Structure 1
Amino acid sequence: MARGKIQLRRIENPTSRQVTFSKRRTGMLKKAYELSVLCDAEVAVIIFSQKGKLYEFSSNSEIQKTIDRYRRSANDADKYRADMEQHILRLKQETADMERKIELLEASLRKLSGQCLGSDSIDEIQEIGDQLERSLSSIRARKVQLFNDQVQQLQAKEWSLKEENAKLLAMCHAYYWQSSAHPEAAAIHSSSSRSTDVETELFIGLPKLN
């Protein structure tokens, strides 16, 4: 028969309560020992009875060493938690500052585009106009610089084409003067070219008499 589920509440009968405490205490200490052996874990258990009697188990030679280790780990965890909280606060502050900067930039952009100027004074509007003039001056200067760069590139390309054209013209003149200075060579070359086109006739027997 399966064991019924026990309702977790204080046992009112003192005798039953003491018997249950003894059984559960022994079982807990036994489980702690098995856990330390099977898993090579450092385990410490501290139990105080209702009358204040101490029961303890430690897989270490001294339970105080395990307690000191626990305190160091707890302190490290508290320090890590405090550092994380400080880091989160810094991130929240940086986020808030960034949101304010974005709002200011958006408001400035709207004013530069001519919007939301109803609450601005004459001096503020004058400052916005001066800022736009400075921006336009910078844009015009950059535009002029780009145009000058393009003009220089086109001029360099023009000079390169002129040099290449002069070289080709010099080669044509050199070929012309060479042909004019040696007409015999040109004629021989021409006749040799025509001789290749002369047809020949081959026949067998005595030559015909006229």
Structure 2
Amino acid sequence: MTRQRIEIKKIANTAARQVTFSKRRRGLFKKAHELSTLCDAEIALIVFSATGKLFKYSSTSMRQVIERRRLQSERIDGLEGAPSVELQLESATHSVLSKEIAEKTQELRQLRGEDLHGLNLDQLKQLEKLVQGGLSQISETKDERFLKEISTLEKKN
């Protein structure tokens, strides 16, 4: 005679339900004991019956296991609230790059002759030298291109 598969649903007969609860509770506790013995695991198992009676099993001290669970939960909650190391690094990099972009944008405005009111006399002189150096390079490049264009036109004629 083989075992039959039963449908998992609430057992209607109260007496049959109590017998099944007792048998399965013993089986559950036995499996918990086997797991703790075979795998050296700390196990705490708490079961309340339908009547409210408490049944418990613990491979070590029930208080130790519950306290360990509480500490683990707090540690995980603390990690979820804190940003990851990668996120902190990305945030720091983003902050540095944002500052650099703001500085370069300000420099570009000043090279265009905008936003000069915050500069002192030395800074204005330095900016003037930069602009003059850039202007002379632009003039040299423009002159070279004119000469190349003239020589190209002369070769065609």
**How would you bin the TM-score normalised by the shorter chain?**
0.5 to 0.7
| Aligned residue type for 2:36 | S
Matched residue SS, 1:57 = strand
Match of 1:151 in 2: none
Asked if the contact 2:47/2:56 (under 8 Å) is kept, the reply is yes
SS of residue matched to 1:55 = strand
Aligned amino acid, residue 94 of structure 1: A
Q: Displacement of 1:105 after TM fit?
A: 2.9
TM-score normalised by L of structure 1 = 0.45
Contact 2:111 2:127 in 1 (8 A): no
Q: Does 1:4 align with 2:5?
A: yes
User: Which residue is equivalent to 1:107?
Assistant: 105
Give the paired residue count. Answer: 131
Q: What is the aligned partner in structure 2 of residue 56 from structure 1?
A: 56
Deviation at 1:122, TM superposition (A): 6.6
The 5 Å alignment of 1:58-97 reads 58-60=58-60, 62-82=61-81, 84-85=82-83, 94=92, 97=95
SS of alignment partner, residue 45 of structure 1: strand
Q: AA paired with 1:72?
A: L
Gaps of 5+ in 2: 133-157
Offset of 1:44 from its aligned partner? Answer: 1.2
Letter of the 2:30 counterpart: K
- Greater radius of gyration (CA): 1
Q: Which residue of 1 aligns with 2:127?
A: 132
Quickly say closer, same or farther: Cα 1:126–1:74, change in 2 above 3 A: closer
Picking from 89, 98, 101, the partner of 2:96 is: 98
Q: Residues of 2 paired with 1:77 and 1:42: CA distance? A: 19
Alpha-carbon spacing, 1:124–1:85, altered in 2? closer, same or farther (3 Å):
closer
Name the CA distance, whole Å, in 2 between partners of 1:134 and 1:53. Answer: 90
Q: Which has the higher contact order (CA 8 A, sep 6+)?
A: 2
Q: CA RMSD in A?
A: 4.0
Letter of the 2:106 partner, please give it. S
Identity rate, percent: 33
Contact residue 46 and residue 54 of structure 2 kept, 8 A = yes
CA–CA distance in structure 1, aligned partners of residues 78 and 116 of structure 2: 55
